[in-house]
Structure 1
Amino acid sequence: MHPMLVYSSSINLWVLEVFTAVWCFVMGSVIGSFLNVVIYRMPLGLNISKPKSRCPICETPIRTRDNLPIVGWILLRGKCRTCQAPISVRYPIVEAIVGCFFLLMYFSLVYSGGRFLPYRIPNKFWGAYQILEGHTWDLIALGLYYNYLFIVVLAGAYIHFDQQKIPLRLLMWCFLIGFSTGVFLPELHPVPAMVTVASEPSATDGILSELRYHGSLHWGFQSTTLITLWWGLFYGGIVGFLYSWPLVVQKEKQSMLFQSGTSCLLILTGLYLGWQQVVTVGFLSAFLLACYEFVRRNRSVDHQPIPASAFIVLVLALQLLLGRYLTLLPGETSITMYLLVVGCQIIVIPILTGLAQSIYRKRETQSLLQDPISVDETSTLTE
């Protein structure tokens, strides 16, 4: 082939890859903009589609050009165009988080050919060009499946940050979509419930997988997929209860670390990812939560403390992007060692969350003891 044709082809491929990456980020930020509406309106029982977005102070509808994700907030300098009331920086932050996650998910899942997925043999074809060739339909569907789980869990964490209850309809829609699509699309669950050393993919399985599986979607009911879903729900319920057990014993229901609905986020994680990965997510979330509270043990409690569900979001994002390096499967070690590691993770989860709750309660008590002192001093000076 002529060198100029090769150079032109490489340039076109580079343009395609850049366009695809930018498109993923833009679509993610647009969905993040809608997610802001869900986070604000759904807990209040408001309609998420009507009326259009408007300033909460002067109630002036936001113009289309001012409602662009991230860019609109920057152009307005964080203020309403009409009344100059400040617009929370949380709106562009949510849009940027979702946009960046969609972009990273594209590179980690679709562009790489599924090389970061646990257990699954990577696709032979990879890169943005393979989307046009139709070799990545399975990974695109899996990416949409994972992205939806992430935005629902992210919305739940932000709703908890606002000290509100996660709406039941948000959780139910996520459950129904995850179960109904997952039970008929086996490609959405690359890690089966029963993984043994004998079922570890071989070289022959890899060749057959290239011919029969990768790049395509197979619509149909399979009993093994249903078993995977049920095991994921079962372990998701166990991990969810062990992670949020302090919610059951605490008496006060305000300004708390664990809030209603935290366990549901892990149940959904088990449904979408399977029981092996939800154990990892629960353990790492509890570990990071305990470390965070330990580091802040000598500081006063914030007015809006970071809820425990925020750490689920962080670990879930890492699990979705780097699942191959965070998930331990039986084929990678001996059965005895595997059961020992998984058992220790499950046992340690309630210990870590209980430790985090204890540290948080101690910080909260110290803050309450300091507040009356400051009030008395202020009243004395006033008199």
Structure 2
Amino acid sequence: MTVDIRAAVALLDGEALPTALILLVAGVLGALIGSFLNVVIWRVPRGESIVRPGSACPQCGRAIAWYDNLPVVSYLVLRGRCRHCATHISARYPLVELGTGLAFAIVVWGALVGTYPAAILPLLLYWASIGIALALIDLDHHRLPNVITLPAYIVTAVLAVAASVLLGEYGRLLTAAAGFALLGGFYLLLAVAYRGGMGLGDVKLAGSLGLLLGWLGWPQLVVGGFSAFVIGGIVGVVLMVAGRAGRKSRLPFGPFMLLGSWVGVFAGPAIAGFYLSATGLA
């Protein structure tokens, strides 16, 4: 049983709605999610509630009104300053909102062009959201909070099962389980073999990423897992050449894992096919 992308998700019906409008809606939704991610990125590492209290200026303590909390727009209207005390607001806030909006649009575009089944779109949008939060938290604090990484297993498993039921492709659940075991197990071995080289947060993240990539297919899993080390190696060399890091510097690996996974999602089959053809294995 197969489900056509336009029949599976009415919103993505290119004949009913122009593609540009679909991507615009996805981008706006992503920007709204990005506004919430700014709260997550700031509060979760500090053990604070992401619900209460409401957003407030850290300098004057005044509550931020809803009209001053519109993604990107409010930042531009206020010229990057608090309405009450004129304290400078970091440009990272609108950048996270813009980045999340762009990520949502790209993920929806991938479904529109058939890169992956529309049934898996909710799971990919979920990972686009928590991936941005995890990457920035890891860059800021060199850790991946359990409060995000552990629930990701449940959400990923539930949405993957739902997608398989919609598609009638239950074999994908077997490759998802294999991805969990292989990628999670590999990172666990690295953490045990090289003390201090790989954190347990990376291990926990690897297992859920393995579920996602494995559901999509073996090329996505292999390329996504391998790409993390390629990207990490390139960034490490660039930083050393620029004098920003030494051979013993520790870089947070979570962002590389997440970025590598997206390489697998979008280009896994193409990269794997090219490699097999170039080596004569195809």
User: Structure 2 length as normaliser, TM-score?
Assistant: 0.80
Relative distance call for 1:152 and 1:327 in structure 2 (3 A) is farther
> Residue 178 of structure 1 corresponds to which residue in structure 2?
156
> Residue 50 of structure 2 corresponds to which residue in structure 1?
48
> Residue 254 of structure 2 corresponds to which residue in structure 1?
309
Contact 2:183–2:206 (CA<8 Å) still a contact in 1? yes
CA distance in 2, matches of 1:51, 1:317: 34
> Residue 272 of structure 1 corresponds to which residue in structure 2?
212
Percent of counterpart pairs with the same letter? 27
> Residue 288 of structure 1 corresponds to which residue in structure 2?
231
Q: For 1:270, give the aligned amino acid.
A: G
The 5 A counterparts of 1:176-255 are 176-186=154-164, 217-218=166-167, 222=170, 224-241=171-188, 245=191, 248-250=194-196
Q: For residues 76-123 of structure 1, what are the alpha-carbon distances to aligned partners after superposition, in whole Å with 9 as ceiling and x for unaligned? A: 2221111111211111111111111111122221x21x1x34xxxxxx
Contact 1:183–1:226 (CA<8 Å) still a contact in 2? yes
Displacement, 1:272? 0.9
Relative distance call for 1:278 and 1:32 in structure 2 (3 A) is same
Displacement, 1:286? 0.8
Displacement, 1:249? 2.1
| Structure 1 stretches lacking a partner, 5+ long | 1-11, 118-137, 188-216, 251-256, 339-383
Give the secondary-structure state (helix, strand or coil) at the position aligned to 1:62: coil
CA distance in 2, matches of 1:288, 1:246: 22
> Residue 267 of structure 2 corresponds to which residue in structure 1?
322
CA distance in 2, matches of 1:288, 1:84: 40
Relative distance call for 1:226 and 1:325 in structure 2 (3 A) is closer
Displacement, 1:238? 3.2
Give the secondary-structure state (helix, strand or coil) at the position aligned to 2:240: coil
The 5 A counterparts of 1:329-344 are 337=281
Displacement, 1:18? 2.7
CA distance in 2, matches of 1:182, 1:300: 40
Q: For residues 252-271 of structure 1, what are the alpha-carbon distances to aligned partners after superposition, in whole Å with 9 as ceiling and x for unaligned? A: xxxxx865412322221111
CA distance in 2, matches of 1:227, 1:147: 22
Relative distance call for 1:249 and 1:266 in structure 2 (3 A) is same
> Residue 19 of structure 1 corresponds to which residue in structure 2?
21
Displacement, 1:231? 0.3
Relative distance call for 1:328 and 1:174 in structure 2 (3 A) is farther
Q: For 1:271, give the aligned amino acid.
A: L
Relative distance call for 1:75 and 1:99 in structure 2 (3 A) is same
> Residue 120 of structure 1 corresponds to which residue in structure 2?
none
> Residue 343 of structure 1 corresponds to which residue in structure 2?
none
CA distance in 2, matches of 1:279, 1:285: 10
Displacement, 1:23? 0.5
Contact 2:104–2:128 (CA<8 Å) still a contact in 1? no
Contact 1:239–1:279 (CA<8 Å) still a contact in 2? no
CA distance in 2, matches of 1:60, 1:305: 38
Tell me which structure has the larger Cα radius of gyration: 1
Relative distance call for 1:157 and 1:238 in structure 2 (3 A) is same
Relative distance call for 1:268 and 1:15 in structure 2 (3 A) is closer
> Residue 150 of structure 1 corresponds to which residue in structure 2?
128
Aligned residues: 263
Displacement, 1:305? 8.0
Give the secondary-structure state (helix, strand or coil) at the position aligned to 1:53: coil
1:101 correspondence with 2:79 = no
> Residue 262 of structure 1 corresponds to which residue in structure 2?
202
CA distance in 1, matches of 2:90, 2:71: 13
Contact 2:182–2:210 (CA<8 Å) still a contact in 1? yes
CA distance in 2, matches of 1:105, 1:182: 16
